[in-house]
Amino acid sequence: MKRRLFFFVPVLLLTASISTGCWDRKEIVDIAIVMLTALDEGQKPGTFRAHILVANPIQIGGPGQSSSGSSQKEPIAHIVTEGRNIDEIRFKAERSLPRDMETSHRRVFIIGESLARRGIKEILDQISRNPMNRINTLLAVAEGMEAAKLVNRQVTLETFAMEQFRELAERKAHVPSSLKDYFIASTSPGQQPIAVSYNEIGNKVGVTGIAIFRDNKLKGFVKGMEAVALTALLGGKVSDSITIPAPNKEGGLSLHLEHIKVRSKVAFSKGEPIISFDVKASGLIMDNRAQLDLSDPSMIQKLDKVFAKEIEDTYRSLFERLQKDLRADSAGLGAMIYRKNPKYWKRIEKDWMELYPEQTINWKVSAQITGVGSFGAPIFIREDKVKK
């Protein structure tokens, strides 16, 4: 027993001597957590102007009243600085702070439209080289304005501005718009990246659509139902309203769009790719302005066909814009060809952006109305006025 103790005591002493805790620990009162960065072109050519929202970790629970009744300081500091690159901006910002800036918790990165059109390759390179930058940060574009203007807009319901941006993108637009999504798309053969776009709605912030990039430069935006259709094609959730005309009648009907599921297929004929999409949509009727008798099964069948035509027209319009106007393969047609036939893709890859606008797409679209609310015509319409 004594021999065993003689052996273990030195081992325990050695373990205690080398276990000295976290060598790089920082006290919470010594750090300033970057939550949002808004980046625009600087006043001098080749420079950037950044608006940075920094959180005080001690007060991150939100503003309130102290026990003495006096108001506490706001938990967010707003810092404005300019520099030639992201790193220089960070060091300049830190000179105005008594703490060390931490970017590992940044939630949102917004880029102004003018800067996005100039190109963001340099910005993305600087972000990706710093391991402290989290790649699940939301990447967004300020449509038609500087990113700085969005930072100062009124926040609805959320305590912090950065949470409003994330919630709008994830819960409302459902656009795959993180830095990670951008990096994956930009490095995938035959795919161009996208990002969510914001603008002012009154004095508040709202999602306006999807920013389309090509070669890391903003080329334009898709909006409305086209943005919803592109989101569904990329695998995102959809939830929106769509209006369809009544078959051979005046007026229309509003539908709550529940689902759009898209399946793609690539086949080859005579050495050329044939791209097909199978789209299935479903929705609920939310109003009946055409005063139709929705208890009639034949009427629902007619409306299903009208519904399907609206979805197909939306997709055709979307690809007309992507292929002809923006010339950006945001839907990843090239990626589909690459996965189906890598050898063929290798032969055409250099010429893809010339071939892409001429690609023909076959559509098979079906749609189903899954609910009509109360059966029958509107209850305030006389029976003899109901359109059969």
What is the rounded CA–CA span in Å between residue 158 and residue 205? 12
* Residue 1 confidence (pLDDT) above 80: no
Tokens representing residue 214 in the block: 């090509």
Largest CA distance in the chain: 105
All structural domains of the chain, each given as residue ranges with its CATH number in brackets, are 28-222 (no CATH), 231-388 (3.30.300.210)
C-alpha to C-alpha distance for 124 and 362, rounded to whole angstroms: 36
Please state which of the ranges 73-87, 161-175, 188-202, 343-357 shows the lowest mean pLDDT. Answer: 161-175
Q: Which residue has the higher pLDDT, 99 or 224?
A: 224
For range 145-168, the mean pLDDT: 74
Average pLDDT over residues 129-151: 90
Per residue in 285-301, pLDDT tens? 998 888 888 888 899 99
Contact 127, 179 (CB under 8 A): yes
Closest CA to 222 of 233, 205, 208, 232: 208
Q: Is 210 helix (H, G, I), strand (E, B) or coil?
A: strand
Looking at every residue in the chain, the average pLDDT score rounds to 84
Closest CA to 51 of 42, 60, 59: 42
Kindly tell me if the per-residue pLDDT of 239 is higher than 50: yes
- Range ranked top by mean pLDDT from 75-84, 361-370, 378-387: 361-370
Residue 300's contacts (CB-CB under 8 Å, 6 or more residues apart) are 294, 369, 372
